[in-house]
Amino acid sequence: MRAKNIALIVVLLIGIYAMVFAKEKKRVIIKITASSIGDEFKTTLEQASLYMKDHPNVKIILYSLPSSTTDKLAYYLQLLEAKSGDIDICTIDIAWLGALAPSILDLRKYGAEKVTEKMFPRVAAAGVVNGKLVALPCWIDAGMLYSRMDLLKKYNLQVPKTWGDLTKYAQIVQQGERDAGNNKFVGFVWQGEAYDGLTCDALEWIYSNGGGTIVNNDKKVTLFNPEAIEAIEMAKNWIGTIAPINVTTMQEEESREVFQAGNAAFMRNWPYACVSAQSDKSKIKGKFNVGPLPAGKSGHSASTLGGWLLGVNKYSKHPEIAADIAKFFVSYAVQKDRALRTGRIPTLMSLYEDKDILKANPFYKEIFIILANAVLRPSRVTAPHYNKVSEVFYKAVYSVLTGTMSAKIALHDAAKKIASITGFSISNNNAMTKDK
């Protein structure tokens, strides 16, 4: 009888061991969306491999989404509205949090505040919606001006301080380079295609000209005003003069390719483009500088504040592991690696004292000036309708740039549509006084 009991215990122990062993061998799969701009996807893939090396029971799968921010947001909305757990960790644009927050976990439950308390307070606050820490800021973005310093020196010019200066200098350099035989050369490239990237560019033109932020924090639609109309007309006049006709088909990468090939005097883009433009394959390595965008009638520059955060889908089957991976991707070592390899601006304050980063990215000294003049898209105040508001706005601007509508009519109609979408009233006051 005793032998049978011992045999039974042995069998049970073997069974328990087999179950534990099988559980340990089974790998948890975590799916993440990653940026496909520049070297971002490759970098994220290699960083993920480091996490998997230390966590052999976890397999991270990366998914690349379309380059258009508009298309990315549409995908997320469809995914989360379906309550799908197909993606565990979402790489989220700062402008989308208002719309996506209801479907994202509060990461304070997983100790994420220990990470965000080391970030710039304003940046850390970007991930908080209705008192919940729904996303971890991964990197900061801000619109910046790229200038060909060798050509400015050649034509005895300075970095433009105003949009008027840029228009004038771009024309001088463009004409000079074309006379020298480069018929492909243009004065200024930016993001002119009809998508949220155009919203970012146009908001910079309008806000720096004293035309407000489309919708202000008092829930007033401020878009239709003389300063905004003037700013959009200014951009329309660039096309075919200092900007190529096909600028209305350009997103970030298309404009970067023109500038990096040595065929533009100036470019508006995000910081990521700096690393690629400084690579050994770049024709302009060591020939350009990065700094604040020009000022308009307001007297100050304006850079649309961007940035990408990591949020954990509340429908994920493995929220604790997903949260741990999100914290890994915003850690000191990973953010440093990303900054050195992709030019992404870190969110941790201590990295701005890192000698390696400052040596590789000397333009970081301009970041604080740029952030001081940052302007936010009206994503929080218009949530959950921001994507519709942005679409109305960029389509209106696009209609002006392509010559199908005047700026006055386009912005007037856009203001009415935005008021209808949001339920807000249209302000008859000066836009700028309400946006401060």
Q: Please tell me the distance from the alpha carbon of residue 378 to that of residue 375, in angstroms, as a whole number.
A: 9
Q: In this structure, is residue 103 part of a structural domain?
A: yes
**Distances in Å between the alpha carbon of 128 and those of 60, 121, 136, 146?**
26, 11, 9, 32
Residue 218 lies in a domain: yes
Quick check: is 108 in a domain?
A: yes
Q: Is 395 part of a structural domain of the chain?
A: yes
pLDDT of residue 19: 43
In this structure, are 154 and 291 located in the same domain?
Answer: yes
261 and 167 in a common domain = yes
* Residue 1 forms part of a structural domain: no
Q: Among residues 337, 356, 374, which one ends one of the domains?
A: 374
Is the pLDDT assigned to residue 356 strictly greater than 50?
A: yes
Residue 41 lies in a domain: yes
Q: Please tell me whether residues 123 and 248 are part of one structural domain.
A: no
Same domain, 115 and 255: no
pLDDT in tens, 196-212: 999 999 999 999 999 99
Contacts for 127-131: CB closer than 8 Å, 24+ residues apart: 127/97, 127/309, 129/97, 129/98, 129/101, 129/380, 130/101
- Give me the pLDDT at residue 67, please: 75
User: Does the residue 129 lie in any domain?
Assistant: yes
CB of 94 closer than 8 Å to CB of 126: yes
For 331-395, the DSSP string reads SHHHHHHHHHHH-PBPSBGGGGG-HHHHHH-GGGGGHHHHHHTEE--TTTTTTTSHHHHHHHHHH
Q: Which residue has the tokens 């989220």?
A: 92
pTM over 0.85: no
For 96-141, how does the pLDDT look when each residue is reduced to its tens digit (9 = 90+)?
888 899 999 999 999 999 999 999 887 888 899 889 999 999 998 8
Rg (CA), the chain: 25
Domain end call among 374, 397, 416: 374
Q: Are residues 178 and 281 in the same domain?
A: yes
More confident call, 170 vs 64: 170
The CATH number given to whatever domain includes residue 129 is: 3.40.190.10
Instruction: Say whether both 222 and 112 belong to one domain.
Output: no
Q: What is the largest CA-CA distance in the chain?
A: 104
Instruction: Specify whether 268 is located in the same domain as 413.
Output: yes
Tokens of 110: 């997983």
Are residues 98 and 386 in contact, defined by beta-carbon separation less than 8 angstroms? yes
Note whether 348 and 249 are same-domain residues: no
Q: Which residues form the domain of 335?
A: 7-142+305-374
pLDDT value of residue 138: 94
Question: Looking at the DSSP assignment, which residues form a beta bridge with residue 221?
Answer: 215, 426
Last residue of a domain, one of 359, 374, 389: 374
Same domain, 292 and 332: no
- DSSP letter for 108, please: G
* Same-domain pairing of 413 and 286: yes
| C-alpha count within 13 angstroms, C-beta hemisphere, residue 116 | 23
Q: pLDDT digits over 87-98, tens only?
A: 999 999 988 888
Residue scoring higher pLDDT (210 or 21): 210
Instruction: Give the other-Cβ count within 10 Å of 382's Cβ.
Output: 24
Together in a domain, 280 and 392: yes
Assigned domain for 2 exists: no
Helix (H, G, I), strand (E, B) or coil at 193: coil
Q: Are residues 345 and 244 in the same domain?
A: no
Domain count, the chain: 2
Average pLDDT over residues 325-343: 94
